[in-house]
Amino acid sequence: MKVDFQTVILKLQEFWSQKGCVILQPYDAEVGAGTFHPATTLKALGPKPWRAAYVQPSRRPGDGRYGENPNRLYRHHQYQVLLKPSPDDIQDIYLDSLRYIGLDPILHDVRFVEDDWESPTLGAAGLGWEVWAGGQEVTQFTYFQQVGGFVCEPVSVELTYGLERLIMTLQGIENVYDLAWNDPKGPSPMTYGDVAQQMEREFSAFSFEHLDAPMVFRHFEDAESMCSQLITNKLGLPAYEYCLKASHLFNLLDARGALSVTERANYIGRVRTLAHACCTLWMENVCG
Amino acid sequence: MFVAEWLFEILSEEIPSRMQPMAQEQLKSLAEAELQTEGLGFETIRTFVTPRRLTLVVEGLPLKTAERTEEKKGPRVDAPAQAIEGFLKTAGVSREACAILDTPKGQFLSVTIKQPGQVTEHILSKVALTLLEKFQWPKSMRWGSSSVTWVRPLRGFLCVFDGKVVSFSYAGIEASNRTQGHRFLAPTPFEVQNFKDYEKKLREHFVILNWQERRQIVKTDVAKVAGELTPLKDEVLLDDVTGLVEWPVALKGKVDEHFMNLPLEVITTPMRIHQRYFPLMDGQGKLAPFFGLIANVDAPDQGKAIVIGNERVLRARLADAQFFWEQDQKHPLEHFNVSLKTRLFHQHLGSVFAKVERLVKLSTRMAEKAGTDPKIVGRAALLSKADLTSQMVNEFPEVQGIMGRYYAQNQKENPEVAQALEEQYWPKVSGGGIPDALPSLILAMADRLDTLVGFFAIGITPTGSKDPFALRRAGLGLIALALNPRFTLSMLETIGWAYDCYSWDELAVPQLKSKKETLADLWKFLLERFKFFLRDVQGSPYDHVEAVLNVADQNPNLFDLSLRVKALDQLMDGEDGKNLLVAYKRASNILKIEEEKDNCTYEGQVKEELFDLGEETELFKNLSQKLPEIEGFVKKGEFVKAVQDLATLRPVVDRFFDKVVVNTDDKNKRINRLHLLAYFRKTLHQVADFSKIEG
């Protein structure tokens, strides 16, 4: 079976589409994780059922390694699934998805290992596991208990596949840049390195060396202020987008080492306040 | 009467490993209590736990409960009609059915209510529900649209009594006689008749039900795959791994040789903590380039893919570690202190760097007084927290202190400084080893003193289950350290120094406690921890601890006190001690009665000229000789000698009580004999307050 990067994505799209998910596109703003996509954060709130799946490129400026580390990336890809309410047989469905992309749970000793998840910036928390395959964490499996400070009723389940790790396990390779992105026997074979290594080099240099911290601090203030104004005007979705911007700018400052521990806590608190306000407005606008 | 067995399994999604042993205990005690409440007798009760199931089996339950009769007392016969009617209504009987009870307070209505026996099966469905509702997890959650909570979603109930299903439903799940085996190896559900059948079928479906048995398999099989090598002893890891598998299968993986140059802890920490592997040691006790791992499956390729996968993960982790090891050593260790300035210790107690500065002051002072090189201790204190901001410790917090030692060694710091950087965190666990080297000991104590004094001064003390800054642990650690005989300073005095090391003016704490108050609070707290230590760690009986602390309240040397309690344990273990205690109790009882009667305390001078009998003289002579001797031993901390001396008094005092009547008619002689008894009491009190000893 072909297990190149894009085939796995296509297979996951197919699988979750069959499970009734709306297949969405990545959110078109910088985010640190698929959870931040409004299709997860906001849609997990309120009573209405919802099933969605999508790829989300996720930026972690602190993990940038100039394209040289075989495992760490400035930008990696998550495959994100959200099901509300969580189905009773969700573990079995999830394991079927692994089989569907060619990962045999017996051959790879798939395990559910306790890992409670928390996002301080989103005011979100859940209980679940990290799913291991051959000792590698390949998925974060979480039952949302709270988002934006609101209790989740009903409870959504979030599955976050770390695509690079998962597919490295499938292809049995050591270096992410060696991953086959498309069919290695096809007319124009490309590796992960061909597609993404230049970006890794340049963005690592940007965030560690060339980021203008005072300017980014200003951008943070602006994003925060815009978000607040939009909330006053009851425009929840644009407000949430500016909350995401603030969150990403915070990540940039953090990776640059521009924040002391106390300041760091303070900035996290500011983003959380915005996220909470956005979630509150969303509940009012959409959930009544 | 016929008896039968109840089998109840709660199937769920994977239960966190660390919660499993306690869950097994809790299910047992809850079930015992509930069955008792329901009046159901039983013979045995056992519980089991695996990652996916929590199981209860109760044997010897009756098929039906016995008929119960209950006597119910009502109002007086001449009570108002309303009261009588009310009583009859609640009891569900007529006036004629009531008996009349004659009591000294008058005649009362009384009725005997018969509770018919109940079918056990019905009671059990109620008990099963109660167990599910009352069970408490350290953390629980909701799922789907249900409002029920459990540690992870509930997926099935197997509930069988005497071979038949006990029906109930909870969280939208109907109880049945079916369950499932291993998630991957045998997922098809199957029916179960009874416990024996259950355990056997689980095994056929690749589940070892018994936690202890799984643990043993893990232990034995890892040793087996290790071959010539020996798994590093790690009970915590064994427990943890046992809770991650239903069908343990041991495999062996390899570590790339070029990582073997990294420090031992840097290699074993990701192995143990992150990946749950067992490091393997060679015949010389050196780390071998292999590890043991426990899979949850018998894979058709004999685990080849599993081993390859795990080796790859470990390689990535060790590659990171290697990178951090090289990066961290590009700067001198002291350089990392800069980042400590922006790391908060506590909102009101300043940065971690401020703490480091205090530690330098405090430990230097302690070193001067304790007679060791203050320069070495001060240097160790200055570097003590530097490694906390190193990349290695950021990634692997478990190696704090250890990295400090390695980096200091490589940078040619004084060996005692490097040693102290690691040993400042000892004891790592309750009952763990404490440092022997004085610089390490002083730094370890200074660190805990600074923390305890700081938090006590700003009014943060442990209350109930709340202890977010782990002050109890710090207290216990401090006590364990103070029990090193090389620590000779007064604990009270060092607490005072620690208080003075804080720049309280700069910190501007709202509601700061005075030095005196802080000292008093902390000393009281430490004594409580100390009592706990003596009882639970040293294993001394409660009454011995009380007896010693009662006479030694003002002695701030904990090491002496612990020795004294030990000596007392030894004395009370033998016949001499027991008899001495009898004599002591007799003497102090007489004294108590007479002192109360005469409204005075008999502590005056004994007059030899008033003695009639040889036994009086003998006792007095012995005491006169022993008291100063014992006093001397106690001062020198030679408590074993002191109690041996006490033991020699036993035959003398026995003879005294055999022959001498204390309460004689001669008033002066009586008082003289009471003084002699008081002298005996005083001698014993040199070691301990024997009145606190039970016997």
Is the sign of the CA dihedral A145, A147, A148, A150 positive or negative?
A: negative
* Cis geometry, peptide bond prior to residue A154 (ω within 30 degrees of 0): yes
pLDDT mean across residues, chain A: 95
CB contact under 8 A, A261 and B343: yes
Q: Which two tokens stand for residue B501?
A: 């090391």
Burial label, B2 (beta-carbon count in 10 A; 0-12, 13-18, 19+): exposed
CA of B145 vs chain A CAs: smallest distance (Å)? 5
CA distance A156 to chain B (A): 7
Q: Is A139 on the interface with B (CB under 8 A)?
A: no
B-chain residues within 8 Å CB-CB of A168? 312
* CA gap B273, B460 in Å, rounded: 32
Q: Select the residue of A71, A114, A133 nearest B309 (Cβ to Cβ).
A: A133
Low-confidence ranges of chain B (pLDDT < 50): none
Question: Within an 8 Å CB–CB cutoff, is residue B188 touching chain A?
Answer: no
In contact, B400 and B387? CB cutoff 8 Å: yes
Distance CA B617, CA B608 (A): 7
Measured distance CA(A54)–CA(A57) in Å, rounded: 10
Query: Which chain B residue has the Cα nearest residue A115?
Result: B16
From chain A, pick out residues whose CB is under 8 angstroms from the CB of B51: 112
What SS3 string covers B205-259? CCCCCCHHHHHHHHHHHHHHHHCCCEECCCHHHHHHHHCCCCCCEEEEEECCHHH
pLDDT for A171-229, tens place per residue? 999 999 999 999 999 999 999 999 999 999 999 999 989 999 999 999 999 999 999 99
A176 to chain B: which residues are within 8 Å by CB?
A: none
Long-range CB contacts for residues B608-616, cutoff 8 Å, separation at least 24: B610/B668, B610/B669, B610/B672, B611/B672, B612/B669, B613/B659, B613/B660, B615/B652, B615/B655, B615/B656, B615/B658, B615/B659, B615/B660, B616/B656, B616/B660, B616/B673, B616/B676
| Phi, then psi, of B268 in degrees rounded to 5 | -80, -25
Total number of residues shown for chain A: 288
Q: Which of B142, B304, B389 to mutate to test the interface with A (most CBs of A within 10 A)?
A: B142
Which one of A85, A128, A169 has the shortest CB-CB distance to B309?
A: A169
pLDDT tens, position by position, A3-47: 999 999 999 999 999 999 999 999 999 999 999 999 999 999 999
Cis ω on the peptide bond leading into residue A85 (within 30° of 0)?
A: yes
User: In chain A, positions 82-111, which contact chain B (CB-CB < 8 Å)?
Assistant: 85-88, 91, 95, 105-111
Question: Nearest Cα to B679, choosing from B592, B604, B571?
Answer: B604
pLDDT score at B69:
79
Report the pLDDT value the prediction gives residue B555, as an integer from 0 to 100.
61
Closest by CA position to B388, among listed B377, B400, B376, B373: B400
**CATH 3.30.930.10 domain extents, chain A:** 5-205
Place of tokens 């800054």: B469
Which of B143, B308, B323 lies at the smallest CB-CB distance from A172? B308
What's the confidence (pLDDT) of residue B663?
Answer: 86
Query: What is residue B378's predicted lDDT score, i.e. its pLDDT?
Result: 97
Which member of A71, A91, A133 has the closest CB to residue B316?
A71
Please answer yes or no on whether A109 and B244 come within 8 Å at the CB atom.
no
Establish if A118 touches chain B: CB-CB under 8 angstroms.
no
Of B390, B451, B419, nearest to B266 by C-alpha is B390
Q: What pLDDT does residue A266 have?
A: 86
CATH fold of A211-287 reads Methane Monooxygenase Hydroxylase; Chain G, domain 1 (1.20.58)
Distance between CA atoms of residues B241 and B406, nearest Å: 30
Distance CA B293, CA B226 (A): 10
Contacts of A147 in chain B (CB under 8 A): none
What pLDDT score does A288 carry? 66
B354 CB near a chain A CB, below 8 Å? no
Which chain B residues touch A262 with a CB distance below 8 Å? 342, 344
Nearest CA in chain B to A169: B309
- Residues paired with residue A147 on neighbouring β-strands, in sequence order: A150
Distance from CA of B13 to the nearest CA of A (A): 8
Task: Measure in Å the smallest separation between the Cα of A153 and chain B Cα atoms.
Answer: 7
Cβ–Cβ gap B51/A112 under 8 Å: yes
- Nearest by CB to residue B144, choosing from A70, A95, A155, is A155
Query: Which residues face B112 on adjacent strands?
Result: B71
Please answer yes or no on whether B314 and A111 come within 8 Å at the CB atom.
no
Residue of B nearest to A128 (CA): B152
Class assignment of domain A5-205?
Answer: alpha beta
Domains in chain B and their CATH numbers?
3-64+119-204 (3.30.70), 69-115 (no CATH), 211-328 (no CATH), 335-537 (1.10.3210), 567-692 (1.10.730)
| pLDDT reading at A128 higher than 80 | yes
Residue A172 makes CB contacts below 8 A (sequence gap 6+) with B305, B308, B309, B312
Where along chain A do the CATH 1.20.58.180 domains lie? Answer: 211-287
Chain A residues with CB-CB distance to B305 below 8 A: 107-108, 134, 172
Beta strands in B341-440 (DSSP E): 344-346, 350-351
- Least CB–CB distance from B310: residue in A95, A107, A135: A135
Reported for A174-177, long-range contacts at CB under 8 A and 24+ positions apart, including other chains, are A174/A70, A174/B312, A174/B315, A174/B316, A175/A70, A176/A70, A176/A71, A176/A73, A177/A67, A177/A70
Comparing CB atoms, the residue among B305, B315, B343 nearest residue A134 is: B305
ipTM of the complex: 0.95
Q: Please give the pLDDT value at position B556.
A: 67
The shortest C-alpha distance from A171 to chain B (Å) reads: 11
Of A134, A157, A168, the CB nearest to B306: A134
Residue B161: CB partners within 8 Å, gap ≥ 6?
A: B4, B5, B6, B7, B61, B120, B121, B124
Other CB atoms within a 10 A radius of the CB of residue B304 amount to: 12
Residue B487: per-residue pLDDT? 85
Instruction: Give start and end residues of each alpha helix (H) in B289-351.
Output: 304-328, 337-340
CA-derived radius of gyration, chain A: 19
